[in-house]
Structure 1
C-alpha cells in the first residue's frame, strides 16, 4: 500500500480513529484520577577515610573508599540497614517491602551515595530517607571496625538531608495523557488499516480496475432516496445519478462504434447489486437521446422490470419463446414511445434451457433488427448459469458491481463464469458509489435548474406511475415537451439506423408500485 492508500483509509475511517483517540485519553485521565499520589524525598551521603599520617595514607584511603563505595550502596537496601529504620519509625512493614520504595544510586567517579525514597506520605518519605542514611553510616562503621577499641577507617557523613516534597511525582497527568493520545492513535490507525486489509468488499473504481482488464464504463452514485425513487425520472433530472447514466450512455456508444453488438446483457455477480434498475435507467437515457430502445426482462427466476415500470408481466419473453405470442403481441411501449419493454412472462421451470434455445437467438436477432439498442436484464452469474448463456448469445455482458456489497473474489468468479462460457465482459458499471468517489465533477452544476420539479410532481402523478404530459402511457399522445435529459430533436446519433418500426403496444401500465431491486 502506498501513501495515497493510507491517506484514503484515514479519511474513510477518521471517525473510528477519533473514537480510539478519545478512548485512549479517557483511560489515561481515569488512571491519573484513580492513581494514589506518591512523593519522593532524596538524601545524600559522602564516603571518606579518616585522616592519615601521610600523603600516601590519604591516597591509599581514597582508593580504598572508591572501591568500597559500590558495596556500601548495595548495603543500603539490606535488612541490616532497613530493620533499624522500621523499628525507629514504627513503619509496620518488612525490610523487603521497605526496600521496594528505596532507590540507591552511586554516581560514577564519585564517593557519593544518593538515597531516593518513594512513599504516599511526603513527610514519611523524608523521615525514611534520613533514617536510612543514618543507619547506613552506623552499619558501615560496625563492619569496617578493625579492632574492639579502634574506630573504623571509613566514615559516612550525610551531606544532603531530605526535604519534605510538596508535589507528587506520580501520577504525571501530562505524560499519561500524551501516552493515552499516542496509544489511542496507534490503535485507531492500526485497526483502520487492518480492517481495510481484511475487508474484501469492492468500494471504489480503482479496486475494480485492479481485478479485471475490462473497462469501467459507468460509476453510479448512491443517493439516499434511490430506494424510494429507483428510476432517475422520478428524482432530480440533474442529480449525480442522472448525470452518471448519461455518461454511461456515451460510453456505450463508443462500445457500439467499436464493433460491439447493439445488444447489451446486463448482469451482476449476486442479487441485490442494482442490475435491474441500472438496465431500466440506462434504457431511459438512451430513449431520451432519440434511440429506439427495448428492455428485455430475461431474469426468468426473479423478474422485476415490469414491476418497476408499472407494466403487465404475465405476457412476455417466455410467452414468445414457447410460441404462444409474437413479439408484436408481447412488447409494450413505455414513456416517450422510444422505449419499449418485453416483460419476462410467466416463470418457467427450465430458464437456462429456454434462454439457450434457438428460439431465444431468433428473438434477439429480431429485436436487433427492430431497435437501435437492446438492453437485456438477466439473472446474476454466480447463483445460476442464465446470465452466461445469454452473454454468449449476445457476445458479452455488462457487469454491475454493487459498491460495498460485492466482494473482490465474487467479481473475479463472475468474470471467470463468463470466460468459461466462451465470452467476456464489455465493461463494468460500479453502482452505489459514495458521492465522494464520484470526483469533483459532481459540483459542476452546468444545466441544472433548481426550480424544476421532478416528473412525479407534475400534475400530481404517482411516483410509480409515469402518466403525465411529460411521459404519456400507452395509447396517449406524447407531449411536445422533451423528456428528461434529452431534447425534442437530439443532435446525437442514435446507436444504429432504424430499419423498421416496432409494432403495437399490448396492455397498459399496472397500478402497483415498485419495490426494492431484486436483481
Structure 2
C-alpha cells in the first residue's frame, strides 16, 4: 500500500510539472537572467598568482639532494606561514607608502602549496587587476628576502634554503568574481527547482479534482464523457437548443452515446443526475441530456426534483409554480401538469413550489408510484436532484431509479467531497453509471472518440437506453 501510494505521489508530481512546464521554464529563465543581472551589479575582483620554488643550496650527491628535497618539503608549511607574517608584509606595506596596511594585505592574499611539492603560490585578489599582480610579485620578492634571513646558514654564512620565483604574477584578463556564467547557470537551476517545488507543494495542498487523470486515480467509477464548457449567454435555454451545432452540444451528444453503451448490461429507463456540491452544472447537464435524447425521437420526461434550488423551469422559460410538488401534495395527475416542449418529444415537469420538507416528499409512496408511472410511459426519465452533500434528496431518489450519474466540476468539488458523495450513493444501493466531468476546456474530439471506441469494444449486448434512440442512431 505504501509503495503504491508513493508511486502515485511521484506520478502525480511528474504530471503536475509536465502540465505546467511553461511555468518551470519561465522560472528557470527568470532565475538565470536575474542572477546574471545581479552579478553585473557586483564590482569584479581579479586574481593574480606568483609561484615560488624552494630548494636547498647544499648537497651534491643524489642522497644529499633527496634528503634536501624531503627537508624542504617538510618546511613548506612554515614558509607558507612566513608569507603572511609581518616579516614579509611590513616591507611590502612600506613600498606602497602605507596605503596598504599589513592587515589589508593579509585580507587580499592567500597562500597555497600544491600537494607533495616544494612550490608555493601567492594569490592576491583586488578590484584593480594591475594592483593584484603588483602585490603578488612584491610579496613573493619579500618572501625570498625573508627566507634568506630566517633559514639556517651554512659554514660560509649563506642561507641553506633558496626561494626562486618561477612564475611571476601577471594582470588577470578575466575577472574571477563574480562568475557571471556560473551565477546565471546556478540561478536557472535554482529557479527550476523552486518552480517544481512550488508546483508540487501547491498541488498536494490543493484538494480539488483538477483533471481526468486525478479523477481516475481517486475513484474506480468510469468516466462517461466530458462536457465542454458552455459558452456564456444571456439566453437561459440549454446549449443544445441555443447552439445545437456547437462543440458543447456535441459533447452532450457524446454523453448520450456513452450512456447507451454503459447501459448495455443494466437497462436504464430512469436516471438521476446529481453532484457533490452546488454550482457544478448538474441542472444544465440534465436539461441538455434530455434535449439531445429527445432529438432521436425517444419520448423523454425531464423532472426537476431539486426541491431546494430548482432551475429547470427557468432554463425552459416555463411556469414553475406548479409541478412535482403539486403532483405529490395535491395528488394531481402528472399528465395535467407536464409541459411539452414544442416541436419535440420532450416533456418537462417543473419542481412546483419549494416545500419545507423536500426529503419527506421525495421518499413518499406517492413519489415511488409516480416514478413507476412515468417510466412505463416514457422511453427515458431524466431527474435533476439537489447535490448529495446538500441533503438526503439525491440519495432518496437514487434508490428509486435505474441509474445515477454524478457531475464533477474540477473547479468546484474537492477530493474528500467527491469521495463522500460516492460512498453515500453506494451505501444507498444506488447504481452509479459513471462520472461526468463538466465545464472542461475545449479539446480534440479524438480523445472522447477513443473512449467511445473502448466502451464499444467491451460491450457486446444491444444498448437499452432508450430503445427508439438506439434505432434512430
Q: With the length of structure 1 as denominator, give the TM-score of the two structures.
A: 0.79
Query: Residue 83 of structure 2 corresponds to which residue in structure 1?
Result: 76
1:495 matched to 2:448? The reply is no
Query: Residue 172 of structure 1 corresponds to which residue in structure 2?
Result: 179
Query: Residue 279 of structure 1 corresponds to which residue in structure 2?
Result: 286
Equivalenced residue count is 450
Query: Residue 13 of structure 1 corresponds to which residue in structure 2?
Result: 20
2:46 aligned to which of 36, 39, 64? 39
Say if 1:300 and 1:379, in contact at 8 Å, map to a contact too. yes
d(CA) in 2 for partners of 1:52, 1:300: 111
- Give the 3-state SS of the residue equivalent to 2:302 in structure 1: strand
1:27 aligned to which of 16, 34, 40? 34
What pairs with 1:240-255 in structure 2 (closer than 5 Å)? Answer: 240-255=247-262
Query: Residue 355 of structure 1 corresponds to which residue in structure 2?
Result: 362
Say if 2:154 and 2:160, in contact at 8 Å, map to a contact too. no
Say if 2:296 and 2:468, in contact at 8 Å, map to a contact too. no
What pairs with 1:87-486 in structure 2 (closer than 5 Å)? Answer: 87-90=94-97, 92=99, 95-146=102-153, 150-225=157-232, 231-323=238-330, 325-436=332-443, 439-440=446-447
Say if 1:79 and 1:96, in contact at 8 Å, map to a contact too. no
Say if 1:291 and 1:494, in contact at 8 Å, map to a contact too. no
Say if 1:316 and 1:344, in contact at 8 Å, map to a contact too. yes
d(CA) in 1 for partners of 2:180, 2:449: 48
Query: Residue 462 of structure 1 corresponds to which residue in structure 2?
Result: none
1:61 matched to 2:68? The reply is yes
Say if 2:268 and 2:466, in contact at 8 Å, map to a contact too. no
Q: 1:227: Cα distance to partner?
A: 8.1
Deviations, residues 415-457 of structure 1 (Å, cap 9, x unaligned): 11112323242221111122248645689xxxxxxxxxxxxxx
Closer, same or farther: CA 7–62 of 1 in aligned 2, 3 Å: closer
d(CA) in 1 for partners of 2:242, 2:196: 39
Deviations, residues 31-79 of structure 1 (Å, cap 9, x unaligned): 1210111111111111121244766544432321122123212332334
Normalized per residue, the structure richer in helix is 2
- Give the 3-state SS of the residue equivalent to 2:232 in structure 1: coil
- Give the 3-state SS of the residue equivalent to 1:217 in structure 2: coil
- Give the 3-state SS of the residue equivalent to 1:328 in structure 2: helix
Moved more, 199-208 or 266-275: 199-208
Q: 1:208: Cα distance to partner?
A: 2.3
- Give the 3-state SS of the residue equivalent to 2:193 in structure 1: helix
Deviations, residues 275-295 of structure 1 (Å, cap 9, x unaligned): 000000000011001011111
- Give the 3-state SS of the residue equivalent to 1:382 in structure 2: helix
d(CA) in 1 for partners of 2:57, 2:154: 15
Closer, same or farther: CA 94–358 of 1 in aligned 2, 3 Å: farther
d(CA) in 2 for partners of 1:178, 1:358: 73
Gaps of 5+ in 1: 444-491, 499-519
Closer, same or farther: CA 391–53 of 1 in aligned 2, 3 Å: closer
Closer, same or farther: CA 57–17 of 1 in aligned 2, 3 Å: closer
Moved more, 247-256 or 36-45: 247-256
Query: Residue 57 of structure 2 corresponds to which residue in structure 1?
Result: 50
- Give the 3-state SS of the residue equivalent to 1:142 in structure 2: helix
Moved more, 288-297 or 38-47: 38-47
d(CA) in 2 for partners of 1:441, 1:210: 19
Q: 1:202: Cα distance to partner?
A: 1.7
Deviations, residues 17-37 of structure 1 (Å, cap 9, x unaligned): 233123202311221210111
Gaps of 5+ in 2: 1-6, 451-462
Computed over aligned residues only, the root mean square deviation of the Cα atoms, in angstroms, reads 2.9
Q: 1:146: Cα distance to partner?
A: 4.7
Closer, same or farther: CA 423–439 of 1 in aligned 2, 3 Å: same
Say if 2:50 and 2:168, in contact at 8 Å, map to a contact too. yes
d(CA) in 2 for partners of 1:154, 1:93: 29
Say if 2:47 and 2:126, in contact at 8 Å, map to a contact too. yes
Deviations, residues 360-405 of structure 1 (Å, cap 9, x unaligned): 1111111112211110000000121111111112254211111232
Q: With the length of structure 2 as denominator, give the TM-score of the two structures.
A: 0.86
Closer, same or farther: CA 232–72 of 1 in aligned 2, 3 Å: same
